[in-house]
Structure 1
Amino acid sequence: MSFDRKIKIAPSILAADFANFGAECQAIEAQGADWVHVDVMDGHFVPNITFGPATCAAIRPHVQGVMDVHLMIAPVDPYVEAFANAGADVITAHVEAGPHIHRTLQAIRGAGAKAGVALNPGTPAGAVAELMDMVDLICVMTVNPGFGGQKFIDMTAKIRALRGMIGDRPIHIEIDGGVDPSTAPLVVQAGADVLVAGSAVFKGGSVSHPDAYGSNIRAIREAAEGVWT
């Protein structure tokens, strides 16, 4: 998994057909997805329950590119190895999920995955100031985590602050929540390069009619890349 700052679209399978995950992953990649984003929720840290390591392991053979696993769970540390063994390329933990995020990030890298740290809307950029040399990705939540389809919360000031803190380090800024063609340019202009989108990618399509996925992905990408032209 090499580093570059090209825009990456990472559809969240939270918005996919749960009965057809393998085919859904293949469909979005065939239609232009760069990463596949897996939202793991525990009903404790966030008010929803989704997938575990077994689901990640089941879809891994169907994902040719990067499997980006976002752990919205607490505690995190006991599960890092299981998700790494399930094939996660990136494992992201929330800075709010436990008292020792430094240890969690060490565990993620020690398990062979890229380490991400996520920030809820109410958490300032400064919460990760001492972690810059331990992370490969910073995920800025632009909704309160727990459910798909929520309205975008403007976090552009936080994104700009993080971009300045990162400097020339090879760290991605990922945006998760309410990303669509109208919000993508705002976050990219502020410094983001990985855009997670759920309903904005999967709306109007299906495994049997995947062209809509491609149209939706292209619309987000073109809107995002338009800020550079």
Structure 2
Amino acid sequence: MSFDRSLKIAPSILAADFADFGREVRAVEDQGADWIHVDVMDGHFVPNLTFGPPMVSALRKHVTTVMDVHLMIAPVDPYIEAFAKAGADVITAHAEAGPHLHRTLQAIRAAGCKAGVALNPATPSSAVAPVLDMVDLVCVMTVNPGFGGQGFIHSMVDKVAELRAMIGDRPVHIEIDGGITPETAPAVVAAGADVLVAGSSVFKGGSVEDPAPYGANMQAIRHSVG
């Protein structure tokens, strides 16, 4: 997984057909997805419950691009090894999920994965300043985490710009998670984002039997940012 700042679209399987994840992953990849984003929620750190390492391991067999595993769980450290063994390429933990972010990022890298840190809307960009040399990705939540289909919080664009300035020439991706559409994507990309997580805006109107809308939806996002 080499680093570059070209725009990447990472469909969130939270918006896919839960009964057909394998074919859904293959369908969005065939239609042009760059990464596959996997939302892990524990019903404690966020008010929703999704799935654990066994599901990630099952998905791994179908992902040929980058499997981007976003852990919306607390505590997070006890589960890092299991998600790494399940096949995650990137593991992102929340800055708010525990008191020892530095240790968490060390553990992710020691497990052989790229390390990401996510920031909830109320968490300032300054929260990641001490660990920027330890991360491969900073994920800016542009909705409150827990559910798909929420509205984009526009004030987060300023946070993206702040992070872009803080990161400088470090090889660190800025990922946006929440409310990405052709209408919201241009502002965050202009501010410095290069990975866009999109759920309902990618999967709407399509299916594994008719995946062309997935490609059209991703192309609409790409075209919106020029």
- Regarding TM over 0.5, the answer is yes
Shift of 1:220: 0.6
* 1:134-181 per-position Cα deviation (integer Å, ceiling 9, x unaligned): 000000000000000000001111000000000000000000000010
Which residue of the partner structure matches residue 133 of structure 1?
Answer: 133
Identity %: 75
Do structure 1's residue 180 and structure 2's residue 157 form an aligned pair?
no
* 1:34-57 per-position Cα deviation (integer Å, ceiling 9, x unaligned): 000000000000000001110010
- Separation in 2 of the partners of 1:34 and 1:44? 30
Which residue of the partner structure matches residue 82 of structure 1?
Answer: 82
Q: What aligned pairs does 1:53-92 form with structure 2 within 5 A after superposition?
A: 53-92=53-92
Which residue of the partner structure matches residue 44 of structure 2?
Answer: 44
Shift of 1:121: 0.3
Shift of 1:125: 0.3
- Separation in 2 of the partners of 1:179 and 1:89? 22
* TM-score, length basis structure 2: 0.99
> Runs of 4 or more off by more than 6 Å in structure 1?
none
Which residue of the partner structure matches residue 199 of structure 1?
Answer: 200
Q: Which residue identity is paired with 1:129?
A: A
Q: What 5-or-longer segments of structure 1 have no aligned partner?
A: none
Q: What 5-or-longer segments of structure 2 have no aligned partner?
A: none
- Separation in 2 of the partners of 1:178 and 1:93? 20
- Separation in 2 of the partners of 1:221 and 1:19? 28
Which residue of the partner structure matches residue 117 of structure 1?
Answer: 117
Q: Which residue identity is paired with 1:130?
A: P
- Separation in 1 of the partners of 2:51 and 2:169? 35
Q: Which residue identity is paired with 2:162?
A: A
Which residue of the partner structure matches residue 190 of structure 2?
Answer: 189
Q: What aligned pairs does 1:2-17 form with structure 2 within 5 A after superposition?
A: 2-17=2-17
Which residue of the partner structure matches residue 144 of structure 1?
Answer: 144
Which residue of the partner structure matches residue 211 of structure 2?
Answer: 210
Shift of 1:222: 1.2
Shift of 1:221: 1.1
